[in-house]
Structure 1
Amino acid sequence: MKKSQVFGLILSILVLIVMNFIPTTELFTVPGRNTLGILVALLILIITEPIPLGVSCMLSTALLVIFGAAPNLGVALSGYTNPIVFFVLVSFGISAAITKVPISKRLLQTLITVFGKNVKLVLFALMVCAAIISSVLSNVATTVIFIALILDFLKIYKNPEDKKRTGKAFMIGLPVASMLGGMMTPAGSSLNLLVLNLLEQQTQLRVTFVEWMVFGIPIVLVTLPIAWLLIVKIYKPVEIPQIEIKKYVDNLDVPKKIDFSEAYVMVVFAAMFILWVLSSWYPVFNVTLVTIVGFGFLFVPKIAILTWDEFIKSISWPAFFLVASVISVGNLLVTNGVSKWISTAVFPTSINLPSFGLVFVVALIVFLMLIIVPVAPALIPMLAPPLIILANNAGVSPIITMMTLGLTVCNCFFLPIDTVPLLTYLTGYYEMWEMPKSTLILQVIIAVVVAIWVPITIGILGLA
C-alpha cells in the first residue's frame, strides 16, 4: 500500500472519530453532522483509494446507519433506486455498442479529411468529434474510445520528444472536449440529469431537453474553439508532413459502406434522440426510460449488437457504486438539514448583483468547490439547496443558479483528479501541474460565457 493510501485510510478513520466531538446546534443536528462527516470520509477514500472504490461506497451506506445519519438501511440505500443510476448502468452498454461498430472512427475520419491540413487541425477535428459523441454518451466512455485513436495517431512520430509534446496537447484536449460536449444535452452526462432531478424535486420547476440544449449548445460552440486555441498555443504540438496525416486516415480501417450493424446502431440512436427531444413536450418520454428501451434494442435476437457478457464487461462498477452512494448521501444532506446549514453558515443570504454578476459568482464558486471536492456527483447535492435559497433571496428563478451549476460542474478539469482527465493523465504524456496552464484560464472563460448566456436564455425561453 502506498503512503498516500495509508494516509487516506488513517485520515478517513480520524474524520469518523473526530466528527462525534464536533458541537451541534438546533440547525446543525447530530444526524446532519454525521452525514457530513461520512461524506468527507468517503471523499478521502475515493481520492486516495486505500480500498477499492466500490467497497468504500458500500461501506458508506452502512456507516450512515451505524452513526444514526439514516434511520435504516433502506433509507441509506435510497440512491440505488434512483433512475439516474440505471441511466449510468445502461450508458456503458450503449458505449460498448458504439465501440463495436465504426461510427466514431467514421466521424473522426470525415472531420480529419475536412479539417486535417495539419496536426493542430487534426486536434481540432478530434476535439469536435469527442464533443459531439459526448453530447449523448458519458464523458468517461467517450474519452476511453478516443484514447486508443490518439495513441495510434502518435505512432507517426519517430522523435520521442516530439511525440511527448504532441501527446500532451492531445491528451489534455481530449478530456476537455469530452466534458465540454457533455454540456450540450441532458443525456451528455448523468450529472446533468442529477441537477434537473434536484431542481424538479426541490422547486417543482422543470427544464426540458430542448431548453437545456438552448442553454448548452451555444456555450460549447463558443468555448470549444477557445479551448483548442489555448491548448495549441500553450502546449505547441509538433507539425508533421500532411502525407503522414493522410496515411493515418487511410489506416483508420473504416469500411466504405455502412453495414447492417452500424446502420442499426445509428437508427437506434436517432430514434432515442428524437424521443429525448420529444420529452420536452411529452414527459412520458423520460430520458432514462428512453435510454433503457434503446439499450434493450441492442440485444434483439438475430441482430444482437451486444451480448450480455460484453455488456457486463463494459460496466465500470466503481462508477455505478459512486453515483448511487453519493445520491444516497446527498438525499440525507437535505433530509438532515445540512444543506440548509451550509446555505446559512457559508453562502451569503443574497448577492446584490445583476443576473450576469450572480451567475458569474456562482460559476466561480462551483469551480473553486471542485478543487476542494473534486467529485462532482457529491458536490451537486451539497450545493443545490443553498443555490436554490440564494436565487430565492436574490429574487430570481432558481433555474438561473441551478443551470449555472449544471453547466459548470461537469467541467472538472482544473487538475486531472476527476475520472475523465485522470484517464488521459495515466497515459503519462503530461504532469499534473501542466494541465492548469490551460484549464485555469478556460474555466474563467467558461464562467464569463455562462454568465452572459444563461440570463439571456432565461429571457428567451421565458423561464424567469
Structure 2
Amino acid sequence: MDYNDSRQAAIRLYRKLNLGWIFNTSTFTGNFILALVIGYFFDKLGYADDANYVFSLSILAIGLWITEAIPPFAVGIFIIAGLLLGFGTDFILEDHRTPVEMYLGTWTSNVIWLLLGGFFLAEAMSQVGIDKSLFRFTLKKFGSKPDRLLMGLMFTTAVGSMVMSNTATTAMMISSVLPLANLMGKNSTYTKALLVGIPAAATLGGMGTIIGSTPNAIAVGALQEKGVNITFIEWMIFGLPTALLATYIFWQFLSKSLKIKDVNLDLEKLSQTDAKVKGFKKNAVIFTLIVTIIAWLTEPIHHIPIAATSAIPIVLLTLFQIIVAEDVRRLPWDTLMLVAGGLALGIAMVDVGLTDIIMEKIEKLPIPMFGVGIVFAIIAVLISNIMSNTAAAAILVPLGLALPGIWGFATPLIVAMSCSCALLLPVSTPSNAIAYSTGMVEQKNFRSGGLLMIVIGPILAFVSVMIYSLIFGSA
C-alpha cells in the first residue's frame, strides 16, 4: 500500500512539474548521438560526403519517428530543414551547395493537394451527419442479422475510407455504432467485433484509392518523381479488389472466431433520433463528393491532374459555407507536414545515390528479386505496427524505387499497401486507437486479427500489385 501511494505521489509530482520535456530532450539527444556514431562508421566505407550526410539524417529521422521524441510532423519539418542546411549552405558540406528547390517543392507536390482535397471532404461529411445516415443505410440494406450487419458496417467503413482519411472514417462510424455497443455491453462478443472490425475495415479499405491512405500517396508521389504517373482509376484497378478482399477475409475471421451468428440483437431499443442537418448542406456535400470523385476517376479522359481537380471540394465547400475558417484550422495539417518531409527525404536519398548504394548491397543477397519484394512487404507491415505507417512508407518507398526493372515500379506500391495491413496493436493505427479509447475493447482483442493480417496482408498486396505491374506496369 505504501509503495502504491508513493508511486502515485511521484506520478502526480511528475505531471505537476511537467518534466516530460526532459525525457523528450534526452531521447532526441540519444538519437542524435546514435546517428552520428552510425554515420561515422558509414563514412569509413568511403562513400561521398553528401551520401553520408543523407544517411545520417535518415538514421536520425527513423529514430525520431520510432521513439516519438518529437511529433512525427515535426520530424518532417526537421528533415527539410536539415536538407536545406546541408545542401543550401557551406556550414556542413563544403562545396556541395546545390539547388534546394526540389526539397521545398514537396510542400506543393500533387500528393499534398490530393490529400488536402480529401481532408476537406472528410470534414464536410462529418459536419452534415453522414455517419448517422450511413448506419441507417447499412441497417436497411444488410438487415439486422448480426453477421450481415457487421459485414455491412465493415464494407461501408472500407468504402468510406477510400475517399476520406481512415481516422475520420473510423471516428464517424464508431460514433454511429456506439449506441449499439453500449446496448450490448462491454463484455459482448458483438461489441468486440464492432470495435475491432470497423477500424480494421477503415485501415484495409484505405488500400482502395490513392487518397485512402497516406502511404499510397507517398508511393504515387515517389513514382511521379521517377516519371511514372498513376491515375486515380489506375490505382483502383489493383487497390480496390485488394481492399475489399482483405476486408472480407477479416470479416470472416471475426464472424467465425467470435461466433457472432449466435448473438441476439434488439435494434428496436436504439434511439433513432439525431440532430437534423439542413437539407441544403447535406445535398451540397453529396454533390461536391460526386463531382470530385467523377473528376478523379475520369482523369484519363479530361487529362486534368488530380492535384487540380482536388481544388473542387476546397472551392465548392467553402463557397457553400459548409467549411469555414474555424473548420480549416482543425484539418490535419500535421499529416501534410509529415508527408512533405518524407517525400523530401526520399528525393535526397535518390539524388545523392544512397538508394543505389543500398540496392547494390541488396542485389548481392542470395535471394531472387521477387524474394526482395516479399521482404519489403513483410518489413513494411512489421514496422508499421510499431510506428506511423506514413513514416514507414517514407523510409521504404525510396529504397524500393531503386530496384531494377519492374521491381522499381511494383515494390513502392507493395510497400504502400502492406503498410495498411498493420492492425496488431491499439497504437498501430489511429483507427485502432479510436476504438481502444472507447474503453470497451482491450489490447488483446486486436492481437489475433493483427497477426492474421501480418501474414495475409503482404501476400494480397504482393499478388495484386504484381498482376497489375505485369499487365500495365512500366519498367
With the shorter chain as reference, the TM-score category is 0.7 to 0.9
How is 1:53-72 mapped onto 2 (pairs within 5 angstroms)? 53-66=72-85, 68=92, 71=97
Q: State the match for 2:325 in structure 1.
A: 308
TM-score (norm 2): 0.81
- 1:145 & 1:71 partners in 2: Cα distance? 48
Q: State the match for 2:6 in structure 1.
A: none
The count of aligned residue pairs is: 447
Which of 226, 231, 236 is matched with 2:249 structurally?
226
- Tell me the CA shift for residue 239 of structure 1: 6.5
What CA deviation, in whole Å up to 9, does each residue of 1:149-204 have, x standing for no partner?
2333322135x433xx54443332222211221121223233223212222322x3
Helix, strand or coil for the counterpart of 1:363?
helix
What CA deviation, in whole Å up to 9, does each residue of 1:320-342 have, x standing for no partner?
32222222222212222222222
Q: State the match for 2:421 in structure 1.
A: 411
What is the letter of the counterpart of residue 312 of structure 1?
R
What is the letter of the counterpart of residue 442 of structure 1?
M
What CA deviation, in whole Å up to 9, does each residue of 1:50-78 have, x standing for no partner?
44544444334333445547958756544
- Tell me the CA shift for residue 127 of structure 1: 1.2
Kept in 1: contact 2:64–2:70 (CA 8 A): yes
What CA deviation, in whole Å up to 9, does each residue of 1:409-450 have, x standing for no partner?
233323333434333334344444542311221232233333
- 2:178 & 2:47 partners in 1: Cα distance? 51
1:449 aligned onto 2:466: no
Q: State the match for 1:425 in structure 2.
A: 436
Higher relative contact order (CA 8 A, sep 6+): 1
1:384 aligned onto 2:411: no
What is the letter of the counterpart of residue 360 of structure 2?
T
Q: More deviation in 43-52 or 1-10?
A: 1-10
- Tell me the CA shift for residue 215 of structure 1: 0.7
Q: State the match for 1:184 in structure 2.
A: 208
1:115 aligned onto 2:128: no
Question: Could you say if the C-alpha distance between residues 275 and 401 of structure 1 is closer, same or farther in structure 2, counting changes exceeding 3 Å?
Answer: same
How is 1:25-424 mapped onto 2 (pairs within 5 angstroms)? 28-66=47-85, 68=92, 71=97, 77-158=104-185, 160-162=186-188, 166-202=190-226, 204-234=227-257, 241-243=264-266, 245-248=267-270, 250-251=271-272, 253=274, 259-284=279-304, 286-300=305-319, 303-313=320-330, 315-346=331-362, 348=364, 352=368, 360-371=374-385, 374-392=387-405, 396=406, 398-415=408-425, 416-424=427-435
Q: State the match for 1:438 in structure 2.
A: 449
- Tell me the CA shift for residue 133 of structure 1: 0.8
- 1:33 & 1:258 partners in 2: Cα distance? 59
Helix, strand or coil for the counterpart of 1:411?
coil
Kept in 2: contact 1:425–1:432 (CA 8 A): yes
Question: Could you say if the C-alpha distance between residues 41 and 172 of structure 1 is closer, same or farther in structure 2, counting changes exceeding 3 Å?
Answer: farther
- Tell me the CA shift for residue 381 of structure 1: 4.4
Q: State the match for 2:41 in structure 1.
A: 22
- 1:278 & 1:331 partners in 2: Cα distance? 29
- 1:362 & 1:38 partners in 2: Cα distance? 21
Kept in 1: contact 2:253–2:449 (CA 8 A): yes
- Tell me the CA shift for residue 84 of structure 1: 1.9
- 1:16 & 1:290 partners in 2: Cα distance? 41
What is the letter of the counterpart of residue 261 of structure 1?
K
Question: Could you say if the C-alpha distance between residues 208 and 65 of structure 1 is closer, same or farther in structure 2, counting changes exceeding 3 Å?
Answer: closer
What is the letter of the counterpart of residue 15 of structure 1?
L
Question: Could you say if the C-alpha distance between residues 126 and 180 of structure 1 is closer, same or farther in structure 2, counting changes exceeding 3 Å?
Answer: same
Kept in 1: contact 2:145–2:261 (CA 8 A): no
- Tell me the CA shift for residue 274 of structure 1: 1.1
Unaligned runs of 5+ in 2: 1-18, 87-91
What is the letter of the counterpart of residue 310 of structure 1?
D
Question: Could you say if the C-alpha distance between residues 376 and 161 of structure 1 is closer, same or farther in structure 2, counting changes exceeding 3 Å?
Answer: closer
- 2:145 & 2:400 partners in 1: Cα distance? 45
Please tell me the root mean square deviation across aligned C-alpha atoms, in Å: 3.4
Kept in 2: contact 1:209–1:280 (CA 8 A): no
- 1:35 & 1:422 partners in 2: Cα distance? 33
Q: More deviation in 229-238 or 138-147?
A: 229-238
Helix, strand or coil for the counterpart of 1:253?
coil
What is the letter of the counterpart of residue 145 of structure 1?
M
Question: Could you say if the C-alpha distance between residues 20 and 232 of structure 1 is closer, same or farther in structure 2, counting changes exceeding 3 Å?
Answer: same
